Amino acid sequence: MLARHMAGQDIPLWRQLQAAASVLAAVRAGESATPAIARIPGELRPGAQALAFHALRQLGRAEALRKLLANRPPPPQPDALLCTALALAWDEAHAPYAPFTLVDQAVEAAKRDAGTRPQANFINACLRRFLREREALVAATGREPAAQWNHPRWWTERLKADHPAQWQAILQASNQAAPMTLRVNLRKTSREAMQATLAAAGMEAAPVGAQGLVLAQARPVHDIPGFADGLLSVQDAAAQLAAPLLLQDVLQDLAETPRPRILDACAAPGGKTAHILELCDADLLALDMDPARCTRIADNLARLGLQAQVRAGDAERPAGWWDGVPFDAILLDAPCTASGIVRRHPDVRWLRRESDIAQLAAQQQRMLQALWPLLRPGGRLVYCTCSVFRAEGEARVAAFVAHHKEAVLLPSPGHLLPQSAGNAEGLRDNLPGDHDGFFYAALQKHPARQPAPDPAQPDA
């Protein structure tokens, strides 16, 4: 069985399955799927990533099936191959290949690798039994929440508590593959012109939000007309709300100062930084902890023809990088569980632990505490996370405002829930169209409610 024809080579499906299983094994060992996929040889990578993402979206069901097929799990490497095959084959209507083909090629993959060869007969026996009893086995696993929703049980319970009316729609959307969404650079072109250019190249695209275009079919970025010239960037529709929300009212307030002073506090890889600069001329500091990620920010800005000061620094410790001059606006896209973007990163649900939420919420609070004194009176701070958990969104902002009387919560989107084109009706408060899960809150520092100066902070 040949998986696909690429670069003049016919690639057997068993090789793709081996590579996909290696990604699953890495995720189970606590590694992000991104570096695991990067290690796959280039000719295998696109097909293997597609299979691995499919398997990660169906891993809860696969693990439940494996428990019925084997009293004890095999070693990690053969277990990853077995669960990859089960995840891909259990739902025949949505399987990428016929279940019999997947089973046959998974057994072949087991025989071809020294790490799985001793378990090849075991894998063969489990998968052949699965084919014989598939209907009964699937029915038996359907009663388990992790198998039904393909998320850890704690995740599902948390969503039930946080979003009692929408938790099922959130989980359903999170199990769908996300589309490729583009942001049009309005400094260089219009959305209408860009849509026409894409159509002329045979790429159907639909408008979303104020500047977005959703491609009917994802393409490599360098195949997209205008990308290399800085006319477009890849950015989800929900993420495209950050820059306009940050700049709302700020530019009007600074009519005599046409270049507002802005901080993007957790800027990498630079999508929101670039969007801000596409919308206004500003003196912008793009900050990130990781120097390598700062290089990515600079590269993205260079492609778009934009300029900012890019600096490596810790947002929790401004004394190491702040010059003492207050900012007119601050964007804090804080580290979070990434629970709102599991459509794009299906490994996240299996990497996170419930205890991560409290740890990240504490870090988010420290960042808010550290950055708030850097904002001028009357200035605006936008706090956002790509999380659907209230502890990282609504609860975090409520706690901050309760302890900072000068902090005024402005009209804000709040929690935007992940939404695919197929479940938009179930999430009526969302943006129109397809987007990831996010949280947004805009805070203004009220000039008349300023606290006494903090001697621990540098003089402004």
- Asked if residue 208 lies in contact with residue 435, where contact means CB atoms within 8 angstroms, the answer is yes
Spatial CA neighbour of 224 closest among 272, 274, 193, 182: 182
Secondary structure in 3-state letters for 54-69: HHHHCHHHHHHHHHHH
The one-character DSSP state at 419 is B
Altogether, the residues listed in the chain come to a count of 460
Gyration radius (Cα) of the chain, Å: 24
Task: Count CB atoms within 10 A of the CB of residue 173.
Answer: 29
For residue 398, the one-letter residue type is A
Q: List residues with catalytic annotation.
A: 386
d(CA 74, CA 71): 9
Helix axes 59-69, 76-89, angle to 10 degrees: 110
Write out the DSSP string of 14-42: HHHHHHHHHHHHHHHTT--HHHHHHTS-T
- DSSP lists the bridge partners of residue 6 as 9
What residues contact residue 271 under an 8 Å CB cut-off, 6+ apart?
Answer: 183, 233, 234, 235, 239, 300
- Asked if residue 180 lies in contact with residue 219, where contact means CB atoms within 8 angstroms, the answer is yes
- Asked if residue 374 lies in contact with residue 263, where contact means CB atoms within 8 angstroms, the answer is yes
Strand 438-445 versus strand 375-385 pairing type: antiparallel
